[in-house]
Structure 1
Amino acid sequence: MPKPPRSTPTGRTGAVRVVELLAYPGVQLLDVTGPLQVFASANDLVAEAGGTAPYQLRVVAKGGQGATTSSGLGIATAPLPRSSAALDTLIVAGGPGVEAALSDPEIVDWVRRRAARARRVASVCTGAFLLAESHVLDGRRAATHWSVCKDLARRFPAVHVETDPIFVRDGTVWTSAGVTSGIDLALALVEEDLGRTVALAVARYLVVFLKRPGGQAQFSAALSLQSAEDQFGALHDWINAHLAGDISLPVLARQAGMSERSFSRHYLEATGLTPGRAVERLRVEQARRLLSESRLPVKRISQRCGFGSEETMRRSFLRVLAATPQDYRVRFGR
């Protein structure tokens, strides 16, 4: 691997960046260990290339007596540092225990004061709630796990919640979506610090994308539809069997045995999607399978899945997956 630059983006030659990851009882294990491993791997790769390990890593928690994660595995932690202690990057992890952390004034105040000290601040998954409670996200764009985006927006109206991105950067504040997206975010932080060469080497070592294609909507859409199987499972089966045909709102309402207005309302309540958006995502899902499993031309796939034209399918892919059909086939085709 090429040797990394000896100067940091801030011009501090040979500087070691202190990275703190906040944990607490009930924290999501991968929210902590995912980003931690990215920075640790960067340290290893830079040291192997003859450089100085760029990161000093700390997992901290109130009391410093360790924390039991939501999976039941305990992790060692250091006590919460003084607010005046040197710090480059603060990362707040998420997990089921975040609600208890939100109700602890000591933790919330520490996050607020520590964030003011840090050069940059980040959160993983529901860690965004702690940043929001500490007013770090006021007036900023932010991401969190797709299942709690609405809750974050409702509870913290000063935060501009974005539902699709894997992670969002707004100035010096970074927030990421659910669980594994903490790895994506940490890779982006390493790229900002040490350059693309080092970040790509870390991604290759960890066998992950440096920048994965698409957004979290591609995962949440299918799960949202599955959650409505009791009410609309038969309808979804019918849609999948007739993707190439007319699947307009009147046709769907008739198939469901409802008026158009009643069907639209009940369907949105059950899935979180309008019928039109659900049909689009089911068509994209079928097209994804054909692109990865067959050698059919894109034009044939667009017709078979009911898009009508390649351009219509391209627009849907960009809207749902943030990738074109051609790019998707290159990445995932046989």
Structure 2
Amino acid sequence: MVDGLAPCYAKPAFPGLGDYDKLEGQSRQGEFPMLRVAVLFLNGGCASTALLPMEIFRNAGVLWNLLEGRAPVPRFRVTTASVGGEPAVTDKLVSLTPACALEKVERPDLVFVPAGGLPLETLVHTGYVIDSVIESNAGVVPWLRRWAAEGTKIAGVCSGVALLAEAGLLDGKRATTHWGLADVYRQRFPAVDWQPDYLITDAGDVFCGGGINSAADLSLYLVERFGSRDLALECAKALLIEMPRTWQVVFADVALRTDHHDEGIRHAQDWLRQHCQKPISMDALAMRVGMSPRNFLRRFKDATGHTPLSYIHALRVAMAKRLLEDGQQTVQEVSQAVGYDDVMFFRGLFKRHTGVCPTEYRTRFGTLPIARPGSRPVSPRAPRMPTVARRSVGPQRDL
């Protein structure tokens, strides 16, 4: 299965829907180029943290279109790889045979590192020994370091994050991992800013996920990050997977610009993301981070590209979108929940940011109905691609 696969990125066939190369060409002519993704198979760990990302990336732009009777437009060209191209033994019951060896992978745009390290039986007898985890996948570390140096984005989940840290890719950056491993990782990798309370961290070029199930959350986040919100929603609905629910993922479609070096503004951004739905005084926020109001406004715009007010509006709209997708609140209730008592102002702001009114957005992207005893059948709502218009939202003022 390993020999003769060069290039090793998969080219699946879609019966009755034309040649995959033609479909790939259509993708490249679209708004987003087709990205190459390499999902690693590691010894030890959990097979699902490799297989779920593989399925999500391969189905993005494909399965939903097929279900809707449209030609698929794949967005990710996916391969799987392991050290030496050998089957990765994740458990005594499971081994995963990759498409190729690491050295045969053509330059990837994104690498996904699953949980890996020690089989369950070994963990029972020895406990979690981080040196053994790294040694069992030693060939992966220099390979990650090489591709990261050439600009490839690297993502890791659960115990696989240890390999990113060992490669030095997380030094000075925020990262998360399984909560049960956080203390061990803090001791072994003190240069990393460990944030285990977060399900997902995004450091711009390196992405981390928490426990086992966060492999799906991180994968959908990356589909949205490198594709679009619509693409991720359609993929999630086609696969019957819930979209990520943590607050930092809620704001995934907002250009947060945290890759700057102004620590005071980063603290302000963190505070705003957690309190944006509350009344906010710009003077008080400036004082909170030790700046004069005028200096705060200037530095915030320089660091983020937004005024504080437009930044808050963008965060609130992002939060409103999730409430409209997930719940049964009225538009007025959503407006108040995100910080706007004036529902007419909220409707206008929402439409300026998304191109559609809140009610239409709910119709397109609301959760599918749940059949309960006594309920009547309801036709499921199919999401469509909205026109997105992002504009400045007025002069600076307190909210």
Which category of TM-score, normalised to the shorter sequence, fits these structures? Answer: 0.5 to 0.7
2:78 aligned counterpart, secondary structure: strand
Q: Which residue of 1 aligns with 2:300?
A: none
Aligned to 2:179: 146
1:64 aligns with 2:82: no
Give me the identity figure in percent: 29
Tell me which residue corresponds to 1:276.
none
TM-score by length of 1: 0.57
The answer to whether the Cα contact below 8 Å between 1:109 and 1:134 also exists between their aligned partners in 2 is: yes
Match of 1:190 among 223, 241, 256: 223
Asked whether 1:33 is paired with 2:54, we answer: no
1:211 & 1:136 partners in 2: Cα distance?
Answer: 24
Q: 2:236 maps to which residue?
A: 203
Question: What is aligned with 1:274?
Answer: none
197 and 139 in structure 1: CA distance in 2 versus 1, 3 angstrom threshold: same
The one of the two structures with greater contact order (alpha-carbon pairs below 8 A, sep at least 6) is 1
Match of 1:77 in 2: 98
2:154 is the alignment partner of 1:136 = no
Q: Residue 84 of structure 2 aligns to a residue in which SS?
A: coil
Whole-angstrom distance in 2 between the partners of 1:147 and 1:40: 31
Question: Of residues 94, 111, 124 in structure 2, which corresponds to 1:90?
Answer: 111
Q: CA RMSD in A?
A: 3.3
| Runs of 4+ that moved beyond 4 A | 11-14
- What is aligned with 1:319? none
Residue 19 of structure 1 corresponds to: 37
Alpha-carbon distance in 2 for matches of 1:168, 1:86: 24
Q: Aligned partners of 1:115, 1:159: CA distance in 2, in Å?
A: 17
Letter in 2 for 1:69: T
SS in 2 for 1:178: coil
User: Judging changes above 3 Å, is the alpha-carbon distance between structure 1 residues 70 and 114 closer, same or farther for their aligned structure 2 residues?
Assistant: farther
User: Any gaps of 5 or more consecutive residues in structure 2?
Assistant: 1-25, 119-129, 249-369, 373-399
User: In the alignment, which of 91, 94, 107 is matched to residue 140 of structure 2?
Assistant: 107
The answer to whether the 8 Å contact 1:188/1:199 transfers is yes
2:195 and 2:226 mapped to 1: Cα distance?
25
1:171 equivalent in structure 2? 204
Compared CA separation, residues 15 and 125, structure 1 to 2 (3 A): same
- 1:1-334 equivalences under 5 Å are 15-45=33-63, 48=66, 49-70=70-91, 72-82=93-103, 85-97=106-118, 99-103=131-135, 105-213=138-246
- Contact 2:176/2:196 (<8 A) preserved: yes
Q: Distance in 1 between matches of 2:84 and 2:104?
A: 15
User: What letter matches 1:52 in structure 2?
Assistant: V
Q: Deviations over 1:169-220 (max 9, x none)?
A: 01111000001101011101111222111111111122222122579xxxxx
Q: What TM-score does the superposition give when structure 2 sets the normalisation length?
A: 0.48
Deviation of the 1:101 alpha carbon = 5.0
Unaligned runs of 5+ in 1: 1-5, 216-331
Q: Structure 1 residue 93: deviation in Å?
A: 1.1
For 2:105 and 2:240, locate their aligned partners in 1 and report how far apart those are by CA, in whole Å.
37
Residue type of the alignment partner of 1:67:
A
Instruction: Decide whether the 8 Å contact of 2:157 with 2:211 is kept in 1.
Output: yes
- The farther-off stretch of 76-85 and 13-22 is 76-85
Q: Give the secondary structure class of the aligned counterpart of 1:95.
A: coil
State the distance in 2 between where 1:35 and 1:195 align.
17
The answer to whether the Cα contact below 8 Å between 2:27 and 2:74 also exists between their aligned partners in 1 is no
Q: Which has the higher helix share?
A: 1
Using the alignment, how far apart are the partners of 1:73 and 1:88 within structure 2? 28
